[in-house]
Amino acid sequence: MPIQESDVQNAIRSVKDPELPQDLMTLGLVQLIEIDEKSGVRVRIALTPAMHAMKDRLQAKVEQAIKAAAAGNAPSVTIEFAAAPPAQEPDVLPGVRHVIAVGAGKGGVGKSTISTLLALGLARSGANVGLLDGDIYGPSLGTMLGLDTLDTLAEGNTLMPFDVHGIKAMTIAKLVDPDKPMIWRGPMAHKAFSQLLLQTGWGELDYLIVDLPPGTGDVPLSLAQSLPLTGAVIVCTPQRVAQDDARRAVRMFGELSVPILGLVENMSWFETNDGQEYDIFGRGGAENLAADMNIPFLGPLPLHISMRQNADAGTPLGNFSINDDITTSIERLASELAAQVVAQDTGVGQPTISMS
């Protein structure tokens, strides 16, 4: 008996990918199913930019599932991909599809490190990524990205982002005297941040990662309000004092109706060069917090001396060569973030945070 459209639909529903919140049919990404007794089955699937890295894997899984359902009654199976309709672009950042804030309830938890690694991880998966150092008072990405010897360029009133390590980057550290303190009140900091964001020629980006100042005070609150955010990532270390502050950061974004794309546990353990692990801050606290607050947990990342060395040397891509486990951890963070953005694109499976 020839395969029916309902058989094809059920076959596609059976394809479960760990990076997707639901199957392709449920997500509404199957645009076309054609069945011809002579030419076989043709399926067209719409992919968002966040799904680009999983394209080949999805194609193989869908083909296999349809062939199994056809049981030899389809001459061929053809899977086509098309771009999903673009999300409504905010006027303030034309060409930027997703703006993701990386925040923390307190300083010193490695927010800039996570911002950098997420940007690089997404770029390595094939996405066009920008990274904005929004920490107006304590910018660190100039050092971490090795921008010290690079000149700042402009075309008219538009700043040209630095094209480094496979991403586009901008930081206020390249626009001010490094020896002078940033003694700015809230309105001045907000103005400087807005100029940095809006006067940089980002071009076409799938993601713009924004490293926000720490805390939940006036400055990070105002900066978050000025951004057309897809969502926010919260960085936390395992210990209780960091969890308490991360909880406040989650609630701040909740007050702004900004979805929480996930929580990252940074410095989850200390790993020596010979592979020994020490739970300096008590592993797992941030994961427990994510479960308690019903928000996604993107994963843990260890502390390693080579990561500090790469940050000081401005060689962030070196973090992908420390060892296989750390590489896998970084790639998993980026992959899980991309999956949460897919969920936002398709409106499926995101938890709701109610603030009272």
Boundaries of every domain in the chain? 7-83, 96-344
- Residue 317: exposed, middle, or buried by beta-carbon count in 10 A (0-12, 13-18, 19+)? middle
Q: What would the CATH number be for the domain defined by 7-83?
A: 3.30.300.130
What span, in angstroms and rounded, lies between the C-alpha atoms of 76 and 36?
Answer: 10
Q: Which two tokens stand for residue 201?
A: 């020629």
CB 233 within 8 A of CB 118: yes
Q: Is 74 left (phi over 0), alpha (psi -120 to 50) or beta?
A: beta
The pLDDT score that the predictor gives to residue 241 is 87
Q: Where are the alpha helices (DSSP H) in the chain?
A: 5-13, 55-70, 111-124, 141-144, 186-198, 218-225, 240-255, 285-293, 305-313, 324-346
First to last CA, the chain: 58
Q: Which two tokens stand for residue 185?
A: 């009140």
- State the DSSP H helix or E strand holding residue 232, giving kind and residue range, or none if neither: strand 231-236
Please tell me if the domain spanning 7-83 has the same topology as the one spanning 96-344: no
Residue 4 makes CB contacts below 8 A (sequence gap 6+) with 35
Diameter of the chain measured on Cα atoms: 78
The pLDDT score that the predictor gives to residue 187 is 58
Cβ neighbours, 10 Å, residue 237:
25
The pLDDT score that the predictor gives to residue 181 is 60
CB 89 within 8 A of CB 206: no
Which has the closest alpha carbon to 8: 28, 35, 26? 35
What span, in angstroms and rounded, lies between the C-alpha atoms of 60 and 53?
Answer: 13
pTM: 0.75
pLDDT tens across the length of the chain (356 residues): 678 888 889 988 898 876 676 788 887 788 888 888 777 888 888 877 667 667 888 888 988 888 888 877 666 888 888 876 655 444 578 889 999 999 988 888 999 999 999 999 999 999 999 999 987 777 889 999 999 889 888 888 888 999 999 999 999 888 776 666 655 555 566 677 777 888 899 999 999 999 988 776 666 666 677 777 899 999 999 999 889 989 988 988 888 888 999 999 999 999 998 889 999 888 899 999 999 999 999 999 999 999 999 999 999 999 999 999 999 999 999 999 999 998 877 665 443 333 33
Give CA angle at 172 (170, 174), nearest 5°: 80
- In CATH terms, 96-344 corresponds, of 3.40.50.300, 3.40.50.2000, 2.40.50.140, 2.30.140.10, to 3.40.50.300
